[in-house]
Structure 1
Amino acid sequence: MLTSQRKKAILDALARDGQVLAKQLSETFDVSEDTVRRDLRELAGEGLLQRVHGGALPASSAVAPFAERRQIESSAKRAIAGAAAAMIGKGQVVIIDGGTTSAELIRQIPRDLQATVVTHSPSVAVGLIDHPLIEVLVIGGRLFKHSIVTVGAAAIEAMSHIQADIYFMGVTGVHPTAGLSTGDYEEAYVKRALAARAAETVVLASSDKINAASQFVIGGLALAQTIIVEMATDPALTKPLEKSGVTIVRA
Protein backbone atom coordinates (compact mmCIF):
# COMPACT_ATOMS: atom_id res chain seq x y z
CA MET A 1 0.00 0.00 0.00
CA LEU A 2 1.30 3.44 -0.94
CA THR A 3 1.90 6.06 1.75
CA SER A 4 -0.86 8.25 0.33
CA GLN A 5 -3.28 5.31 0.45
CA ARG A 6 -2.34 4.57 4.07
CA LYS A 7 -2.88 8.18 5.06
CA LYS A 8 -6.29 8.26 3.40
CA ALA A 9 -7.24 5.05 5.19
CA ILE A 10 -6.13 6.55 8.51
CA LEU A 11 -8.27 9.65 7.97
CA ASP A 12 -11.22 7.49 6.90
CA ALA A 13 -10.87 5.43 10.09
CA LEU A 14 -10.70 8.63 12.17
CA ALA A 15 -13.90 9.92 10.59
CA ARG A 16 -15.62 6.58 11.15
CA ASP A 17 -14.38 5.60 14.63
CA GLY A 18 -13.36 8.88 16.27
CA GLN A 19 -9.84 7.61 17.05
CA VAL A 20 -7.08 5.36 15.72
CA LEU A 21 -4.43 3.31 17.53
CA ALA A 22 -0.91 3.00 16.12
CA LYS A 23 -0.60 -0.70 17.02
CA GLN A 24 -3.86 -1.63 15.31
CA LEU A 25 -2.95 0.39 12.22
CA SER A 26 0.43 -1.33 11.94
CA GLU A 27 -1.32 -4.70 12.01
CA THR A 28 -3.97 -3.62 9.51
CA PHE A 29 -1.42 -2.22 7.04
CA ASP A 30 1.24 -4.86 7.82
CA VAL A 31 3.87 -2.18 8.44
CA SER A 32 5.94 -1.25 11.49
CA GLU A 33 4.60 1.03 14.21
CA ASP A 34 7.45 3.43 13.33
CA THR A 35 5.99 3.73 9.83
CA VAL A 36 2.53 4.42 11.24
CA ARG A 37 3.91 7.00 13.67
CA ARG A 38 5.64 8.76 10.77
CA ASP A 39 2.33 8.87 8.89
CA LEU A 40 0.61 10.29 11.96
CA ARG A 41 3.33 12.91 12.44
CA GLU A 42 2.99 14.07 8.84
CA LEU A 43 -0.82 14.17 9.01
CA ALA A 44 -0.62 16.11 12.27
CA GLY A 45 1.80 18.54 10.63
CA GLU A 46 -0.87 19.21 8.01
CA GLY A 47 -3.43 19.83 10.74
CA LEU A 48 -5.50 16.79 9.74
CA LEU A 49 -5.38 14.98 13.09
CA GLN A 50 -4.31 15.40 16.70
CA ARG A 51 -1.71 12.93 17.93
CA VAL A 52 -2.21 11.43 21.40
CA HIS A 53 -0.44 8.70 23.33
CA GLY A 54 -0.78 5.48 21.33
CA GLY A 55 -2.59 6.94 18.34
CA ALA A 56 -4.55 9.94 17.11
CA LEU A 57 -7.87 11.79 17.32
CA PRO A 58 -9.64 14.04 14.80
CA ALA A 59 -8.17 17.56 14.86
CA SER A 60 -10.36 20.54 15.61
CA SER A 61 -10.73 23.02 12.77
CA ALA A 62 -11.86 25.80 15.14
CA VAL A 63 -8.40 27.26 15.63
CA ALA A 64 -8.34 30.31 13.33
CA PRO A 65 -7.57 33.75 14.84
CA PHE A 66 -10.51 35.58 16.47
CA ALA A 67 -10.79 38.23 13.74
CA GLU A 68 -11.01 35.55 11.06
CA ARG A 69 -13.56 33.47 12.99
CA ARG A 70 -15.66 36.57 13.68
CA GLN A 71 -16.21 37.06 9.94
CA ILE A 72 -17.87 33.65 9.60
CA GLU A 73 -21.65 34.06 9.79
CA SER A 74 -23.36 31.01 11.21
CA SER A 75 -27.05 30.45 11.90
CA ALA A 76 -26.01 27.48 14.05
CA LYS A 77 -23.78 29.74 16.16
CA ARG A 78 -26.66 32.18 16.64
CA ALA A 79 -28.96 29.34 17.69
CA ILE A 80 -26.43 28.01 20.21
CA ALA A 81 -25.94 31.51 21.61
CA GLY A 82 -29.70 32.02 21.86
CA ALA A 83 -30.14 28.80 23.85
CA ALA A 84 -27.33 29.89 26.17
CA ALA A 85 -28.78 33.36 26.72
CA ALA A 86 -32.13 31.80 27.64
CA MET A 87 -30.43 29.94 30.52
CA ILE A 88 -29.46 33.14 32.34
CA GLY A 89 -31.81 33.99 35.18
CA LYS A 90 -32.51 37.28 36.92
CA GLY A 91 -29.95 38.13 39.59
CA GLN A 92 -27.50 35.41 38.62
CA VAL A 93 -23.74 35.69 38.56
CA VAL A 94 -22.65 34.45 35.14
CA ILE A 95 -19.15 33.80 33.76
CA ILE A 96 -18.88 34.29 30.00
CA ASP A 97 -15.82 33.03 28.16
CA GLY A 98 -14.19 34.70 25.19
CA GLY A 99 -14.82 33.60 21.60
CA THR A 100 -17.09 34.29 18.68
CA THR A 101 -20.06 32.33 20.04
CA SER A 102 -19.81 34.28 23.30
CA ALA A 103 -19.82 37.49 21.25
CA GLU A 104 -23.12 36.34 19.75
CA LEU A 105 -24.42 35.27 23.18
CA ILE A 106 -24.17 38.77 24.68
CA ARG A 107 -26.04 40.21 21.69
CA GLN A 108 -28.96 37.95 22.59
CA ILE A 109 -29.14 38.82 26.29
CA PRO A 110 -32.29 40.92 26.92
CA ARG A 111 -31.58 44.59 27.63
CA ASP A 112 -33.82 44.49 30.73
CA LEU A 113 -32.07 41.51 32.36
CA GLN A 114 -30.55 42.21 35.76
CA ALA A 115 -27.46 40.06 36.37
CA THR A 116 -23.74 40.14 37.04
CA VAL A 117 -21.39 39.03 34.27
CA VAL A 118 -17.81 38.05 35.04
CA THR A 119 -15.51 37.77 32.04
CA HIS A 120 -11.85 37.66 31.06
CA SER A 121 -12.79 38.89 27.59
CA PRO A 122 -12.51 42.66 26.97
CA SER A 123 -14.75 42.19 23.92
CA VAL A 124 -17.54 40.65 26.02
CA ALA A 125 -17.20 43.39 28.62
CA VAL A 126 -17.46 46.20 26.05
CA GLY A 127 -20.34 44.42 24.33
CA LEU A 128 -22.42 44.72 27.52
CA ILE A 129 -22.08 48.49 27.88
CA ASP A 130 -25.63 49.05 26.61
CA HIS A 131 -27.17 46.62 29.13
CA PRO A 132 -27.97 49.03 31.99
CA LEU A 133 -28.93 46.37 34.54
CA ILE A 134 -25.91 44.12 34.03
CA GLU A 135 -22.93 44.68 36.28
CA VAL A 136 -19.72 43.67 34.52
CA LEU A 137 -16.65 42.42 36.38
CA VAL A 138 -13.53 42.17 34.18
CA ILE A 139 -10.78 39.73 35.12
CA GLY A 140 -7.35 41.20 34.44
CA GLY A 141 -4.13 39.56 33.31
CA ARG A 142 -1.96 39.17 30.22
CA LEU A 143 -3.93 39.67 27.00
CA PHE A 144 -3.83 36.59 24.79
CA LYS A 145 -4.38 38.29 21.43
CA HIS A 146 -5.38 35.18 19.47
CA SER A 147 -8.63 34.85 21.44
CA ILE A 148 -8.72 38.37 22.97
CA VAL A 149 -8.91 37.09 26.55
CA THR A 150 -6.74 37.57 29.63
CA VAL A 151 -4.65 34.67 30.91
CA GLY A 152 -1.92 34.04 33.45
CA ALA A 153 -1.44 33.88 37.21
CA ALA A 154 -3.17 37.22 37.90
CA ALA A 155 -6.30 36.08 36.05
CA ILE A 156 -6.44 32.76 37.91
CA GLU A 157 -5.93 34.49 41.27
CA ALA A 158 -8.83 36.88 40.57
CA MET A 159 -11.12 33.95 39.78
CA SER A 160 -10.60 32.42 43.20
CA HIS A 161 -12.89 35.09 44.72
CA ILE A 162 -15.89 34.28 42.49
CA GLN A 163 -18.88 32.03 43.16
CA ALA A 164 -20.91 31.94 39.94
CA ASP A 165 -24.20 30.29 39.05
CA ILE A 166 -23.20 29.33 35.52
CA TYR A 167 -20.13 29.43 33.27
CA PHE A 168 -20.44 29.48 29.48
CA MET A 169 -17.25 27.83 28.22
CA GLY A 170 -15.83 28.05 24.73
CA VAL A 171 -13.68 25.16 23.48
CA THR A 172 -12.10 24.00 20.24
CA GLY A 173 -12.56 20.28 20.92
CA VAL A 174 -15.17 18.03 22.56
CA HIS A 175 -14.31 14.32 22.46
CA PRO A 176 -15.82 11.39 24.39
CA THR A 177 -12.42 10.11 25.55
CA ALA A 178 -10.10 13.15 25.19
CA GLY A 179 -12.61 15.45 26.90
CA LEU A 180 -12.59 19.24 26.47
CA SER A 181 -9.61 20.88 24.83
CA THR A 182 -8.30 24.14 23.41
CA GLY A 183 -5.39 25.36 21.33
CA ASP A 184 -3.44 27.29 23.98
CA TYR A 185 -1.73 26.05 27.15
CA GLU A 186 -2.50 29.04 29.39
CA GLU A 187 -6.06 29.34 28.11
CA ALA A 188 -6.69 25.72 29.15
CA TYR A 189 -5.63 26.58 32.72
CA VAL A 190 -7.92 29.61 32.81
CA LYS A 191 -10.93 27.68 31.52
CA ARG A 192 -10.38 24.93 34.08
CA ALA A 193 -10.12 27.55 36.85
CA LEU A 194 -13.34 29.23 35.72
CA ALA A 195 -15.21 25.92 35.67
CA ALA A 196 -14.17 25.35 39.27
CA ARG A 197 -15.83 28.63 40.29
CA ALA A 198 -19.30 27.90 38.83
CA ALA A 199 -22.17 25.72 40.00
CA GLU A 200 -22.78 24.70 36.38
CA THR A 201 -20.54 24.73 33.30
CA VAL A 202 -22.21 24.91 29.90
CA VAL A 203 -20.05 24.23 26.83
CA LEU A 204 -20.91 26.01 23.57
CA ALA A 205 -19.98 23.62 20.76
CA SER A 206 -20.63 24.02 17.05
CA SER A 207 -20.40 20.88 14.90
CA ASP A 208 -16.75 21.43 13.92
CA LYS A 209 -15.77 20.99 17.58
CA ILE A 210 -17.65 17.74 18.28
CA ASN A 211 -15.57 14.53 18.16
CA ALA A 212 -12.42 16.63 17.74
CA ALA A 213 -9.41 17.41 19.91
CA SER A 214 -6.81 20.16 20.29
CA GLN A 215 -3.34 20.16 21.82
CA PHE A 216 -4.19 21.25 25.37
CA VAL A 217 -6.67 19.51 27.65
CA ILE A 218 -9.04 21.62 29.74
CA GLY A 219 -10.48 18.59 31.48
CA GLY A 220 -12.66 15.53 31.10
CA LEU A 221 -16.29 15.72 30.03
CA ALA A 222 -17.26 15.58 33.72
CA LEU A 223 -16.05 19.18 33.96
CA ALA A 224 -19.25 20.22 32.15
CA GLN A 225 -22.86 19.52 33.02
CA THR A 226 -24.36 20.68 29.73
CA ILE A 227 -23.21 20.96 26.11
CA ILE A 228 -25.21 23.06 23.65
CA VAL A 229 -24.90 21.81 20.08
CA GLU A 230 -26.56 22.80 16.85
CA MET A 231 -29.82 21.06 15.94
CA ALA A 232 -28.35 19.23 12.93
CA THR A 233 -25.48 17.60 14.85
CA ASP A 234 -25.34 13.87 14.07
CA PRO A 235 -26.84 11.89 17.00
CA ALA A 236 -24.03 9.35 16.53
CA LEU A 237 -21.60 12.07 17.68
CA THR A 238 -23.59 13.19 20.70
CA LYS A 239 -24.64 9.75 21.98
CA PRO A 240 -21.19 8.94 23.46
CA LEU A 241 -21.21 12.34 25.18
CA GLU A 242 -24.62 11.65 26.72
CA LYS A 243 -23.42 8.26 27.94
CA SER A 244 -20.79 10.09 29.99
CA GLY A 245 -23.58 11.85 31.90
CA VAL A 246 -23.51 15.21 30.11
CA THR A 247 -26.83 16.80 29.13
CA ILE A 248 -27.02 17.63 25.43
CA VAL A 249 -29.15 20.64 24.45
CA ARG A 250 -29.94 21.01 20.74
CA ALA A 251 -30.46 24.55 19.49
Structure 2
Amino acid sequence: MLSSQRKQYILDTLRRDGQIVAKTLSQELGLSEDTIRRDLRELAQEGLLQRVHGGALPASPAVADFAARQALSGEAKVAIGRAAAERIQPGQVVMLDGGTTAIQVARHLPPHLEATIVTHSPSVAVELAHHRHVEVILIGGRLFKHSVVAVGSAALEAIRRVRADLYYLGVTGLHPQAGLTTGDLEEAHIKRALSEQAAETVALASAEKLNAASPYQVAPITELSGIITERAVPAQATEAFERLGIPVLRV
Protein backbone atom coordinates (compact mmCIF):
# COMPACT_ATOMS: atom_id res chain seq x y z
CA MET A 1 0.00 0.00 0.00
CA LEU A 2 1.40 3.38 -1.03
CA SER A 3 1.94 6.13 1.54
CA SER A 4 -0.85 8.24 0.02
CA GLN A 5 -3.23 5.27 0.16
CA ARG A 6 -2.34 4.57 3.81
CA LYS A 7 -2.95 8.18 4.77
CA GLN A 8 -6.31 8.26 3.04
CA TYR A 9 -7.22 5.01 4.80
CA ILE A 10 -6.22 6.56 8.13
CA LEU A 11 -8.37 9.64 7.50
CA ASP A 12 -11.32 7.51 6.40
CA THR A 13 -10.98 5.38 9.55
CA LEU A 14 -10.76 8.50 11.70
CA ARG A 15 -13.95 9.90 10.21
CA ARG A 16 -15.74 6.57 10.70
CA ASP A 17 -14.52 5.66 14.21
CA GLY A 18 -13.62 9.03 15.71
CA GLN A 19 -10.16 7.85 16.73
CA ILE A 20 -7.09 5.95 15.56
CA VAL A 21 -5.31 3.35 17.70
CA ALA A 22 -1.86 2.89 16.15
CA LYS A 23 -1.37 -0.68 17.36
CA THR A 24 -4.77 -1.84 16.09
CA LEU A 25 -4.29 -0.14 12.73
CA SER A 26 -0.81 -1.60 12.27
CA GLN A 27 -2.20 -5.09 12.85
CA GLU A 28 -5.12 -4.47 10.52
CA LEU A 29 -2.82 -3.33 7.70
CA GLY A 30 0.03 -5.70 8.44
CA LEU A 31 2.47 -2.82 8.92
CA SER A 32 4.82 -1.79 11.70
CA GLU A 33 3.65 0.68 14.36
CA ASP A 34 6.59 2.89 13.36
CA THR A 35 5.13 3.21 9.86
CA ILE A 36 1.71 4.13 11.23
CA ARG A 37 3.20 6.61 13.70
CA ARG A 38 5.16 8.26 10.88
CA ASP A 39 1.97 8.63 8.84
CA LEU A 40 0.16 10.08 11.84
CA ARG A 41 2.99 12.52 12.45
CA GLU A 42 2.91 13.74 8.84
CA LEU A 43 -0.88 14.06 8.84
CA ALA A 44 -0.71 16.01 12.10
CA GLN A 45 1.82 18.40 10.53
CA GLU A 46 -0.74 19.04 7.79
CA GLY A 47 -3.38 19.80 10.45
CA LEU A 48 -5.51 16.81 9.44
CA LEU A 49 -5.54 15.09 12.84
CA GLN A 50 -4.41 15.56 16.44
CA ARG A 51 -1.90 13.03 17.71
CA VAL A 52 -2.44 11.60 21.20
CA HIS A 53 -0.75 8.84 23.16
CA GLY A 54 -1.21 5.62 21.21
CA GLY A 55 -2.91 7.11 18.17
CA ALA A 56 -4.87 10.14 16.98
CA LEU A 57 -8.12 12.08 17.29
CA PRO A 58 -9.91 14.39 14.83
CA ALA A 59 -8.27 17.82 14.68
CA SER A 60 -10.50 20.81 15.28
CA PRO A 61 -10.85 23.19 12.31
CA ALA A 62 -11.58 25.96 14.82
CA VAL A 63 -7.87 26.66 15.43
CA ALA A 64 -7.90 29.20 12.58
CA ASP A 65 -7.44 32.86 13.46
CA PHE A 66 -10.29 35.13 14.57
CA ALA A 67 -11.14 36.40 11.08
CA ALA A 68 -11.24 32.90 9.57
CA ARG A 69 -13.37 31.53 12.44
CA GLN A 70 -16.06 34.09 11.72
CA ALA A 71 -16.88 32.10 8.57
CA LEU A 72 -17.35 28.80 10.45
CA SER A 73 -20.91 27.77 11.42
CA GLY A 74 -22.20 31.36 11.26
CA GLU A 75 -25.92 30.66 11.76
CA ALA A 76 -25.20 28.08 14.44
CA LYS A 77 -23.10 30.55 16.41
CA VAL A 78 -25.89 33.11 16.31
CA ALA A 79 -28.36 30.54 17.68
CA ILE A 80 -25.93 29.37 20.38
CA GLY A 81 -25.13 32.95 21.36
CA ARG A 82 -28.80 33.88 21.60
CA ALA A 83 -29.63 30.84 23.75
CA ALA A 84 -26.68 31.51 26.07
CA ALA A 85 -27.63 35.17 26.45
CA GLU A 86 -31.21 34.29 27.37
CA ARG A 87 -29.97 32.10 30.24
CA ILE A 88 -28.11 34.85 32.06
CA GLN A 89 -30.08 35.87 35.14
CA PRO A 90 -30.43 39.40 36.54
CA GLY A 91 -27.70 40.23 39.04
CA GLN A 92 -25.32 37.50 37.91
CA VAL A 93 -21.59 37.96 37.41
CA VAL A 94 -20.76 36.18 34.17
CA MET A 95 -17.34 35.54 32.65
CA LEU A 96 -17.58 35.65 28.88
CA ASP A 97 -14.78 34.17 26.80
CA GLY A 98 -13.33 35.64 23.65
CA GLY A 99 -14.21 34.40 20.18
CA THR A 100 -16.91 34.67 17.58
CA THR A 101 -19.61 32.81 19.52
CA ALA A 102 -19.00 34.95 22.62
CA ILE A 103 -19.61 38.05 20.51
CA GLN A 104 -23.01 36.62 19.61
CA VAL A 105 -23.77 36.20 23.32
CA ALA A 106 -22.95 39.86 23.88
CA ARG A 107 -25.09 40.96 20.92
CA HIS A 108 -28.13 39.05 22.15
CA LEU A 109 -28.22 40.06 25.80
CA PRO A 110 -31.73 41.30 26.64
CA PRO A 111 -31.77 45.12 26.61
CA HIS A 112 -33.17 45.34 30.15
CA LEU A 113 -30.82 42.77 31.71
CA GLU A 114 -28.91 44.05 34.72
CA ALA A 115 -25.77 41.95 35.17
CA THR A 116 -21.98 42.14 35.23
CA ILE A 117 -19.93 40.74 32.35
CA VAL A 118 -16.25 40.02 32.91
CA THR A 119 -14.24 39.43 29.75
CA HIS A 120 -10.67 39.41 28.48
CA SER A 121 -11.94 40.11 24.96
CA PRO A 122 -11.86 43.72 23.73
CA SER A 123 -14.25 42.69 20.94
CA VAL A 124 -16.84 41.49 23.48
CA ALA A 125 -16.37 44.63 25.58
CA VAL A 126 -16.99 46.87 22.55
CA GLU A 127 -20.21 44.96 21.78
CA LEU A 128 -21.41 45.75 25.31
CA ALA A 129 -20.31 49.39 25.39
CA HIS A 130 -23.80 50.66 24.62
CA HIS A 131 -25.76 48.21 26.78
CA ARG A 132 -27.33 50.52 29.36
CA HIS A 133 -27.69 48.08 32.26
CA VAL A 134 -24.70 45.75 31.94
CA GLU A 135 -21.54 46.57 33.84
CA VAL A 136 -18.48 45.52 31.85
CA ILE A 137 -15.19 44.53 33.49
CA LEU A 138 -12.43 44.25 30.89
CA ILE A 139 -9.45 42.09 31.86
CA GLY A 140 -6.21 43.52 30.50
CA GLY A 141 -2.88 42.01 29.55
CA ARG A 142 -0.84 41.20 26.47
CA LEU A 143 -3.04 41.05 23.37
CA PHE A 144 -2.98 37.62 21.76
CA LYS A 145 -3.77 38.79 18.24
CA HIS A 146 -4.74 35.37 16.89
CA SER A 147 -7.84 35.30 19.12
CA VAL A 148 -8.02 39.02 20.01
CA VAL A 149 -7.94 38.36 23.78
CA ALA A 150 -5.72 39.37 26.70
CA VAL A 151 -3.29 36.77 28.02
CA GLY A 152 -0.29 36.71 30.35
CA SER A 153 0.41 37.18 34.05
CA ALA A 154 -1.48 40.47 34.38
CA ALA A 155 -4.62 38.87 33.00
CA LEU A 156 -4.26 35.83 35.27
CA GLU A 157 -3.87 38.02 38.36
CA ALA A 158 -6.98 40.06 37.52
CA ILE A 159 -9.06 36.95 36.79
CA ARG A 160 -8.18 35.41 40.16
CA ARG A 161 -9.69 38.40 41.95
CA VAL A 162 -13.16 37.70 40.55
CA ARG A 163 -15.79 35.21 41.71
CA ALA A 164 -18.36 34.56 39.01
CA ASP A 165 -21.66 32.70 38.87
CA LEU A 166 -21.10 31.44 35.33
CA TYR A 167 -18.38 31.15 32.70
CA TYR A 168 -19.28 30.78 29.06
CA LEU A 169 -16.29 28.92 27.64
CA GLY A 170 -15.12 28.82 24.06
CA VAL A 171 -12.65 26.11 23.08
CA THR A 172 -11.53 24.61 19.79
CA GLY A 173 -12.11 21.02 20.89
CA LEU A 174 -14.34 19.04 23.24
CA HIS A 175 -13.57 15.34 23.55
CA PRO A 176 -14.62 12.80 26.21
CA GLN A 177 -11.02 11.62 26.71
CA ALA A 178 -8.89 14.58 25.59
CA GLY A 179 -11.09 17.03 27.48
CA LEU A 180 -11.47 20.73 26.72
CA THR A 181 -8.64 21.83 24.45
CA THR A 182 -7.39 24.85 22.55
CA GLY A 183 -4.60 25.68 20.16
CA ASP A 184 -2.40 27.96 22.30
CA LEU A 185 -0.74 27.24 25.64
CA GLU A 186 -1.13 30.71 27.15
CA GLU A 187 -4.75 30.88 26.11
CA ALA A 188 -5.33 27.50 27.74
CA HIS A 189 -3.98 28.89 31.04
CA ILE A 190 -6.34 31.87 30.83
CA LYS A 191 -9.37 29.70 30.10
CA ARG A 192 -8.47 27.38 32.97
CA ALA A 193 -8.24 30.34 35.37
CA LEU A 194 -11.62 31.68 34.22
CA SER A 195 -13.21 28.28 34.76
CA GLU A 196 -11.68 27.93 38.22
CA GLN A 197 -13.18 31.27 39.29
CA ALA A 198 -16.73 30.41 38.20
CA ALA A 199 -19.36 28.35 39.99
CA GLU A 200 -20.42 26.83 36.65
CA THR A 201 -18.69 26.45 33.29
CA VAL A 202 -20.78 25.98 30.16
CA ALA A 203 -19.15 25.35 26.78
CA LEU A 204 -20.46 27.07 23.66
CA ALA A 205 -19.71 24.58 20.90
CA SER A 206 -20.69 24.47 17.26
CA ALA A 207 -20.58 21.07 15.58
CA GLU A 208 -16.99 21.13 14.34
CA LYS A 209 -15.67 21.36 17.92
CA LEU A 210 -17.43 18.26 19.26
CA ASN A 211 -15.30 15.11 19.53
CA ALA A 212 -12.28 17.01 18.21
CA ALA A 213 -9.02 17.86 19.94
CA SER A 214 -6.32 20.54 19.93
CA PRO A 215 -2.82 20.44 21.47
CA TYR A 216 -3.39 22.14 24.85
CA GLN A 217 -5.82 21.02 27.53
CA VAL A 218 -7.86 23.57 29.44
CA ALA A 219 -9.55 21.05 31.76
CA PRO A 220 -11.04 17.55 31.84
CA ILE A 221 -14.44 17.31 30.17
CA THR A 222 -16.02 16.53 33.56
CA GLU A 223 -15.38 20.14 34.64
CA LEU A 224 -18.27 21.23 32.45
CA SER A 225 -21.70 22.03 33.85
CA GLY A 226 -23.23 21.91 30.39
CA ILE A 227 -22.82 22.26 26.63
CA ILE A 228 -24.83 24.48 24.29
CA THR A 229 -24.61 23.33 20.70
CA GLU A 230 -26.49 23.56 17.43
CA ARG A 231 -29.78 21.81 16.80
CA ALA A 232 -28.50 19.84 13.80
CA VAL A 233 -25.84 17.95 15.78
CA PRO A 234 -26.70 14.22 15.64
CA ALA A 235 -27.40 12.33 18.86
CA GLN A 236 -24.33 10.14 18.47
CA ALA A 237 -22.09 13.21 18.54
CA THR A 238 -23.15 14.08 22.09
CA GLU A 239 -24.02 10.73 23.67
CA ALA A 240 -20.54 10.29 25.21
CA PHE A 241 -20.86 13.65 26.99
CA GLU A 242 -24.36 12.84 28.21
CA ARG A 243 -23.17 9.47 29.57
CA LEU A 244 -20.74 11.48 31.71
CA GLY A 245 -23.69 13.42 33.15
CA ILE A 246 -23.08 16.63 31.18
CA PRO A 247 -26.36 18.22 30.04
CA VAL A 248 -26.43 19.09 26.32
CA LEU A 249 -28.75 21.81 25.05
CA ARG A 250 -29.47 21.92 21.31
CA VAL A 251 -30.65 25.27 19.98
Tell me the TM-score normalized by structure 2: 0.97
Q: Is residue 47 from structure 1 mapped to residue 47 from structure 2 by the alignment?
A: yes
Q: Is the 8 A contact 2:73 2:206 kept in 1?
A: no
Structure 1 residues 21-60: Cα deviation after superposition (integer angstroms, max 9, x where no partner):
1111111111111100110011111111001111100000
Q: Is the 8 A contact 1:95 1:117 kept in 2?
A: yes
Q: Is the 8 A contact 2:182 2:214 kept in 1?
A: yes
SS at match of 1:62: helix
1:111 CA displacement: 1.6
1:160 CA displacement: 1.2
Structure-2 residue corresponding to 1:70: 70
Aligned partners of 1:72, 1:214: CA distance in 2, in Å? 17
Go from structure 1 to structure 2 and tell me whether the alpha carbon gap of 1:211 and 1:107 turns closer, same or farther (over 3 Å shift).
Answer: same
Aligned partners of 1:106, 1:28: CA distance in 2, in Å? 50
Structure-1 residue corresponding to 2:83: 83
Q: Is the 8 A contact 1:181 1:217 kept in 2?
A: yes
Aligned partners of 2:49, 2:133: CA distance in 1, in Å? 45
Q: Is residue 166 from structure 1 mapped to residue 166 from structure 2 by the alignment?
A: yes
Q: Is the 8 A contact 1:81 1:104 kept in 2?
A: yes
Go from structure 1 to structure 2 and tell me whether the alpha carbon gap of 1:73 and 1:212 turns closer, same or farther (over 3 Å shift).
Answer: closer
Q: Which structure 1 residue ranges, 4+ long, deviate > 6 Å from structure 2? A: none
Q: Is the 8 A contact 1:111 1:130 kept in 2?
A: no
Q: Give, as a single letter, the amino acid of the residue that structure 2 aligns with 1:246.
A: I
% identity of equivalent residues? 58
Tell me the TM-score normalized by structure 1: 0.97
Structure-1 residue corresponding to 2:113: 113
Structure-2 residue corresponding to 1:140: 140
Q: Give, as a single letter, the amino acid of the residue that structure 2 aligns with 1:250.
A: R
Structure-2 residue corresponding to 1:236: 236
Structure-1 residue corresponding to 2:202: 202
SS at match of 1:228: strand
Structure-1 residue corresponding to 2:189: 189
Give the unaligned 5+ runs of structure 1.
none
Aligned partners of 1:71, 1:206: CA distance in 2, in Å? 12
Aligned partners of 2:17, 2:177: CA distance in 1, in Å? 12
Q: How many residues are paired up? A: 251
1:71 CA displacement: 4.6
Q: Give, as a single letter, the amino acid of the residue that structure 1 aligns with 2:158.
A: A
Aligned partners of 2:122, 2:113: CA distance in 1, in Å? 20
1:69 CA displacement: 2.1
Alignment root-mean-square deviation, CA? 1.1
SS at match of 2:62: coil
Q: Give, as a single letter, the amino acid of the residue that structure 2 aligns with 1:203.
A: A
Aligned partners of 1:225, 1:15: CA distance in 2, in Å? 28
1:73 CA displacement: 6.5
Aligned partners of 2:14, 2:125: CA distance in 1, in Å? 39
Aligned partners of 1:82, 1:201: CA distance in 2, in Å? 17
Give the unaligned 5+ runs of structure 2.
none
Aligned partners of 1:220, 1:13: CA distance in 2, in Å? 25
Q: Is the 8 A contact 2:203 2:227 kept in 1?
A: yes
